[in-house]
Amino acid sequence: MAAEDRRDPVLDVQERDGALSLSGELTVWTVSQLPRREWQRIELQGISRLDTAGALYLADRRGEGAQVDGLTEVQGQLLDAVASSIPKPDPAPDAAPLWRRVLETVGQQVMSGLRYFHELAEYLGRFLAALGRSFRHPSEFRLTSLVHHCQETGLRAIPIVTAMSFLIGVVLAFQGASQLRQFGAEVFVVDLIAIAVLRELGILLTAIVVAGRTASALTASIGSMKMREEIDAMRTLGIDVDMVLILPRVLALVITLPILGLVSDVAGLFGGAVMSWIELGISPSMFLTRLAEINVNHVIVGLVKAPVFAVIIGVVGCQAGMKVGKDAESLGAMTSSAVVSAIFAVIIADALFSVFFAQVNI
């Protein structure tokens, strides 16, 4: 009989003027029938049975400011016991001083940067280890993959690199002519174009274009394989991921970026020669004569940077691709991060090269 009462409890609920009047049984079987909103007063004169579930409901409403009336002494003791057992949230800690928050933020950023450099060093080591293994075991080297990536990173980038460098040469010639004409030294615009393009702008802008174009492509291609669990399948089959994915991509950049640098230099000089002829009347033969007097060290300085920039771009792109998670949002975030990191790293490396060559008087 008690089981039947528990299965069929009766609770009468009446609402009026912000007050809730309850009569019957307020138990775990009936508490779900009660409206979940704030009350000013709850009247319980007709409650014949109250358990901990009902007491918890009353304790929550009382905590919201409702007045609970009509409880018997035993029911009041139950309500007090349940209310006292409800866990209280920990008080909010006092705000740390500004200097401490600044130090914590700086420390976190520094540690994040160190972890990132550690990961880049790891992938650089994996590339060098795979390169050494390819020399010991030439049959494991993926020549077809290398040719494919050389085409993607080098051949397909020639149009945009050529157009960009040509326009840079035009701009340098035009701006240089405007300034040098004031001193009657228009002929030195050839030196300006040659040194700027051959030593700095040619290879730097080419590396930036390749970083934006290729770093994102590396991250997207490796990251999509990571999302589809193809890399896990390769490891399961005993395939060396470094030999298949990292080595061909980075080595293709090392091969093609110096070539793109030469193309950029030629296009920049050609653009400068065209604008010099139009703006200053410097004939192509005079331009070439003046160009022949430029020290060849400027060409060497520019081309020496290319393999280093290539390794930086390749390692950053591969590392970002391997960090992609299982969702498309992660792929997009890592692709953007790879482009920004590669461009920033190339500019930092170029600045270090400039300081080094200035110190050794080259």
CB 36 within 8 A of CB 51: no
- Assess whether 246 and 150 both reside in one domain: yes
Cβ neighbours of residue 16 closer than 8 Å, sequence gap 6 or more: none
Token couple for 296: 């060849």
How far apart (Å, rounded) are the C-alpha atoms in residues 86 and 76? 16
- Assess whether 207 and 332 both reside in one domain: yes
Q: What is the pLDDT of residues 37-64, one digit of tens each?
A: 777 888 887 788 888 888 888 888 888 8
Token couple for 84: 């006292």
Whether 118 is in a domain gets the answer no
CA distances 228 to 171, 205, 231, 326, 333, Å, are 46, 34, 8, 8, 17
CA distances 236 to 229, 231, 233, 239, 277, Å, are 11, 9, 5, 8, 63
- Assess whether 67 and 202 both reside in one domain: no
Whether 112 is in a domain gets the answer no
Lookup result for tokens 């880049």: 120
Q: What is the DSSP letter of 294?
A: S
Q: What is the pLDDT of residues 204-262, one digit of tens each?
A: 999 999 999 888 899 999 998 988 888 889 888 888 888 989 999 999 999 999 999 99
CB 322 within 8 A of CB 351: no
Give the predicted TM-score (pTM) of the model: 0.72
- Assess whether 77 and 147 both reside in one domain: no
CB 114 within 8 A of CB 86: no
How far apart (Å, rounded) are the C-alpha atoms in residues 78 and 55? 7
CB 317 within 8 A of CB 249: yes
Higher pLDDT, 279 or 109: 109
CB 234 within 8 A of CB 244: yes
How far apart (Å, rounded) are the C-alpha atoms in residues 27 and 50? 6
Whether 95 is in a domain gets the answer no
Confidence tier at 84 by pLDDT (50, 70, 90): confident
How far apart (Å, rounded) are the C-alpha atoms in residues 317 and 211? 9
Whether 113 is in a domain gets the answer no
How far apart (Å, rounded) are the C-alpha atoms in residues 60 and 20? 14
Number of structural domains, the chain? 2
Residue 18 has pLDDT above 80, yes or no: no
Cβ neighbours of residue 85 closer than 8 Å, sequence gap 6 or more: none
Domain that holds residue 25: 8-85
How far apart (Å, rounded) are the C-alpha atoms in residues 246 and 341? 18
